[in-house]
Amino acid sequence: MKGILSLITIKPKNHCFSGGGNLSFSILIVLFTLFNFQGFCLNPDKKPKTFVVTIDPGHGGKDPGATGKKTVEKKLTLAIGLKVGHYIESMMDNVKVVYTRSTDVFIPLDERANIANQNRSDLFISIHVDGFKSSTPKGTSSFVMGTSKTSVNFDLVKRENRVITLEDNYQEKYENFDPNDPASYIKFNLYQSVNLKQSLLFATLVQDELRVKAQRVDRGVSQEPFMVLWRTTMPSVLVETGFISNPQEEEFLITENGQNIIATSIFTAIRKYRQDLDDSDEDKAGISTARQSDSFAQERLNRIIEAERIRTEQFQTEKDTARPGSLESKGTPVKVNVENKNSTPKAGEIEFRIQILASTRPLAPSAPDFKGRKGFEAIKLDGYYKYMTRPVKTYPEALALRKELSTLFKGAFIVAFKGGIRVPLNEAVGE
């Protein structure tokens, strides 16, 4: 009997019984004898729960949202929301992305909350663009459900909540709530959410990223009675990504690069928020490993963003080149610093290169990014190390070289230099 008992132990972390140690439970002896017992678990490790994020691009369909001189809010929120979702799916493991809308359609406010609730979401993010009568206000804000002590944001709250008047039977659905009547908001005075702390945490992370990464003016985090947040059952935040009424901010938000920067900031906040949740259950070694992996994930994200910017730039320059009447220079030429360059161009000399990739840090010549090809030169420009071929003298040579490289580097495109200064491709081709 003693020999049998010595084969049985308890693993304290998962309460599994297996060979080794001492345990004088007669029931285990019976199981061992009858079923040739090798080990069993009372609470076996479960597969980690999928982290569900619901992205809510504000407005849509018959509801354009705020209106600027060049675009409307619903187009910007959809573009940014889809980018955030793309980054999540590309860069995070065991995460499911749910969209309240992925096309230009109208979704009632209560249905947006229902979508998040039905999918048992862990986080709800409603993306918006602010608007004002004056063109002066600028910056980003994040809001959680609640009531503020001041009415500084009341015009914004009324404008966002007024969307419910476009819905059928909205008075019945929202318990006779009138978005324009301050008295209707009294019902929210007693509102308390079990998710308030986590909502405030995530909203703060968003604002930190928008201030640091996107370099936007930080208008802070506030509690306001937004209907879209009212019925959600998880941490929820409404993000105003800028002012469409401000010409400079509208210009930034309509560009691919501007949308990438905003989307990256929101994505990074999501990743940090989830990491904070995971860290609470990890030991120190696990946290260290997770943070190290986090840095590599961020580097990959930076490359995705730069690749998207490159594709946009390539499309625009080639489109301009194809139009004979559009050969004027765009923007101020930038002097570049070329590393490992074998020759110095003569003043006024035109050169063409093929850019294959960009990175926020230098890459070793043996890096897998180069796919076994050698001879690329790093050019420091716009805060990136941009890797390009050695120069060729004519545009047809550049076209042939790009065609060759495109089989390995799908985002490869032509870049022009004049006397060592980068110039628009259309300007170089026109000379």
Question: DSSP states of 44-106 as a string?
Answer: PPPPPPPEEEEEEE--BTTB--SB-SS-BHHHHHHHHHHHHHHHHHHH-SSEEEEES-SSS--
> Quick one: tokens of 306?
């730069």
| 123 contacts 234 by C-beta, under 8 angstroms | yes
CA atoms within 13 A on the CB side of 79: 18
Question: DSSP states of 3-51 as a string?
Answer: HHHTT-EEETTTTEEESSS----HHHHHHHHHHT---EESSPPPPPPPE
Question: What letter represents residue 139's amino acid?
Answer: G
State pLDDT tens for residues 253-305. 999 999 999 999 999 999 999 988 877 655 444 444 444 444 544 554 555 45
Residues of the chain short of pLDDT 50, as ranges, are 1-42, 149-150, 283-294, 296-297, 300, 304, 308, 311-312, 314-343
| 311 contacts 411 by C-beta, under 8 angstroms | yes
Place of tokens 């405030």: 200
> Quick one: tokens of 303?
């490359």
Q: What is the pTM of this model?
A: 0.56
First vs last C-alpha separation in the chain: 96
State pLDDT tens for residues 138-149. 999 999 987 654
- 324: helix, strand or coil: coil
| 239 contacts 224 by C-beta, under 8 angstroms | no
| 381 contacts 422 by C-beta, under 8 angstroms | yes
H-helix or E-strand containing 206?
A: helix 196-212
For 16, phi and psi rounded to 5 degrees? -100, 145
Q: Are strands 350-359 and 236-243 parallel, antiparallel or unpaired?
A: unpaired
Please name the fold of domain 51-281: Aminopeptidase (3.40.630)
- Domain limits, CATH 3.40.630.40, in the chain: 51-281
| 66 contacts 130 by C-beta, under 8 angstroms | yes
CA atoms within 13 A on the CB side of 287: 10
